[in-house]
Structure 1
């Protein structure tokens, strides 16, 4: 396998750094922030949406799930578009689709209209996100500056979700649920104008043989991912043994097998096989999947524990999650130096160890717990560790891909992340819910049953974090062996 720290994305000798690169980072980071914000802000607004639009529980669940479906299902397609059609062009298209669909979400007067608009919003995010990361990777060619840029980028993964809950509670309490979507419009408009001014125009098509789009591969990959995510997010309602769960997942596996066959026979495949020979990309993808699986499940279970066991309001629960977000913000400032000193694999090990310890502390939650004693320590430790994971894994992944494939590589990393998030809900949250239901049926009080179920879920989340740490240790050992071999 290829060294994850290879120079595939290093600028050729004599190339000059872009003079407006930090402003470009601010533009694409702002766009990415609203994408991540919308992944969680709607959760807080669901009760208000249900009351205002007459949305059933199933409708409300689809408002959340359809965004995840189209976002995760179209990421590879969006990444391939960025590589072939131009990063700036695709970024602007994705930003436009996201903004227009956000307006449609805010104006929706029925559950169906909102669900359709959310589907388009997820599609816009899927086109925007990989092109934005690809712009960051290709704009920052100096290794030290790239570490700083990717640190800021990786920090968004924690901050977007955390502040989404806080902002959602504040907006619903002071304005209305529609403003959870309207707020995207001024940010998107400012980012669009700034992108036109700051981001260099896409280079003209060269006379070299044009790369094909691989429409067949894109269609099969999108269908497979849609089925896989649909099957996994349905486990919370149907369980793992239901045909409604196993059918889509089996269909997804079959389509992935077909995709492998098709991709081996086309000249320019959607996912070039050479990418899967790059250890850094594989470690980055699997590690991101494990990190997201743990984070999203812990995020959900802690939020519900605060509201249904401790009696917090939705806004108070959102403020409680700042215990994770504020340490993450502090770590982002020092991460470039940490990665420069110990390398991306070393920072990954540090981060995954902190996440494991923080998650393990949550296993002891009592039914009469208090936030400062029982939640704050674990959440804060996780907040310190998560950016180390996100940044180092993203750096490992994007550094392993050549510039010509930076879009699809970014899409692949994002796909791993979203699939991991769906898998976390499908397994860890479902395990906790099943345990809670079993205890409630035996006559235990609701608060006792919920707390015991969450402790069970946090135990499984700790096991996922341990697996993540093991992967990090393997990556670190491999990197040091390669460094020793190179020095001799």
Structure 2
């Protein structure tokens, strides 16, 4: 039997939102500070990118393990543990004196985030039942998540320019403390199984999944230095494919507590939402990257000005999320997902019209508002879709899966489109050449979002059903899944 997972709903939402904000913030807050970090710590040029890459590597690699651990050992326990690790590593990174110390701290941050992200989502889905209340809660969570990524650029620019690069790490400490402060005020332990029924963690699946996803992310992020044609790149990706194939083979034969129950993917809601998340993240991460570079490298804007320029994007996200929450409160998530993805694709296509002699008002402001509003329409409904019909005992699994899809989509999309853009720009890094490369990357990002809309139309059901997720054939597992939260 699973213990009751319901805490005080408002406190659960606050804790999950604040925690997700800091996890998303650290995906982008360091980027603007990289030149200052290189000067202060003496990074070699080829090593500097690992300050960003190692966070993505550990975060993406351990998400499935973190998600399943939430189900087996308690969501609150993993939430607190992940936040504590994240905060401690932020402190270590802020005090780093050598390059390896900062890289190790960033790796630890990613590990902590891999426990926090699925735990936060699982706390929400087990606290708020399917329907309007869950949609509203996921709307707040999604808006804060997206705002964290967007505001990271602003915070990184302001802190680097007016304080010190160290504050891009130390700023996490008060945010982590705020999230932890909500825990004793009403967040319950979560649906951790009673000792008599607690299953053992799928160790083989954990090794195969973590190794496979980690190698996949590693192979992709290193293409910025090695290139896609490098034998090392293809050997790494081949090894990742072997491990992930072995993971699927092993999970199909795990009788109890698999790391990822493959039947979960047969749900049109869960499977379709994860395909949509992967494609949307591939377009969104790349677009964020290109627009930031366009403003700095082509328009000549400074770090702080570039960060400030993302404020309209944050506004559009919030408005889009509010509208999506109201539209889908009593309807299927598909109602907002399809127009949202199409609108985001249209905004990115508008972005692709950027010019080398453009301006923020003419080339960035309008597309930012359209793209962000469309993205806001997608964020909350896709989280609701990815958890529709999921049993309380698998909420962490579903959360880890959705976050993994987002991370992998973002990493692969960004690496592939950045390579395409760089080759199109050529060796001459003139503003006109860079502009052409960024425009091509943004056009492809628009196409990816259009594909996400096609996936929503073709895969997601038109109506929500209570039994969307196929059940396991194991009687004991079915008993756990049928236990109310």
Fold conserved between structures, TM > 0.5: yes
| Partner of residue 236, structure 1 | 224
1:399 is aligned to 2:396: no
CA 286–83 in structure 1, closer or farther in 2 if over 3 Å, else same:
same
Structure 2 unaligned residues grouped into runs of 5+ = 467-485
CA 203–226 in structure 1, closer or farther in 2 if over 3 Å, else same:
closer
| Partner of residue 475, structure 2 | none
How large is the RMSD of aligned CA atoms in angstroms? 2.0
| Partner of residue 452, structure 2 | 468
1:386 is aligned to 2:370: no
| Partner of residue 249, structure 1 | 237
**Contact 1:279-1:400 at 8 Å conserved across structures:** no
1:82 is aligned to 2:61: no
DSSP-derived class of the 2:201 partner: coil
| Partner of residue 141, structure 1 | 129
**Contact 2:191-2:392 at 8 Å conserved across structures:** no
| Partner of residue 344, structure 1 | 333
CA distance in 2, matches of 1:22, 1:320: 32
CA 127–19 in structure 1, closer or farther in 2 if over 3 Å, else same:
closer
Deviation at 1:28, TM superposition (A): 1.6
| Partner of residue 100, structure 1 | 88
Match of 1:423 among 389, 412, 416: 412
CA deviations 1:278-316 (Å, max 9, x no partner) are 111111111111111111111111111111111100111
Deviation at 1:413, TM superposition (A): 0.3
Deviation at 1:481, TM superposition (A): 11
Match of 1:452 among 433, 436, 445: 436
CA distance in 1, matches of 2:386, 2:78: 21
CA 210–23 in structure 1, closer or farther in 2 if over 3 Å, else same:
closer
**Contact 1:283-1:393 at 8 Å conserved across structures:** no
1:185 is aligned to 2:173: yes
1:111 is aligned to 2:99: yes
Q: State how 1:5-404 maps to structure 2 within 5 Å.
A: 20-141=8-129, 143-202=131-190, 205-206=193-194, 208-268=196-256, 269-340=258-329, 342-404=331-393
| Partner of residue 486, structure 1 | none
CA 142–414 in structure 1, closer or farther in 2 if over 3 Å, else same:
closer
CA 482–209 in structure 1, closer or farther in 2 if over 3 Å, else same:
closer
CA deviations 1:186-224 (Å, max 9, x no partner) are 221232232123211346753654322011110110000
CA distance in 2, matches of 1:18, 1:234: 43
**Contact 2:29-2:153 at 8 Å conserved across structures:** yes
CA deviations 1:149-172 (Å, max 9, x no partner) are 000111123211110000111111
DSSP-derived class of the 2:182 partner: helix
Range with bigger deviation, 116-125 or 175-184: 175-184
CA deviations 1:443-463 (Å, max 9, x no partner) are xx7111101111111221121
DSSP-derived class of the 1:343 partner: coil
| Partner of residue 462, structure 2 | 479
CA 481–292 in structure 1, closer or farther in 2 if over 3 Å, else same:
closer
Range with bigger deviation, 335-344 or 50-59: 335-344
TM-score (normalised: structure 1): 0.91
DSSP-derived class of the 2:299 partner: coil
CA 326–290 in structure 1, closer or farther in 2 if over 3 Å, else same:
same
CA 264–177 in structure 1, closer or farther in 2 if over 3 Å, else same:
same
CA 202–324 in structure 1, closer or farther in 2 if over 3 Å, else same:
closer
Match of 2:398 among 400, 409, 419: 409
Deviation at 1:414, TM superposition (A): 0.2
Q: How many residues are paired up?
A: 464
**Contact 1:345-1:475 at 8 Å conserved across structures:** no
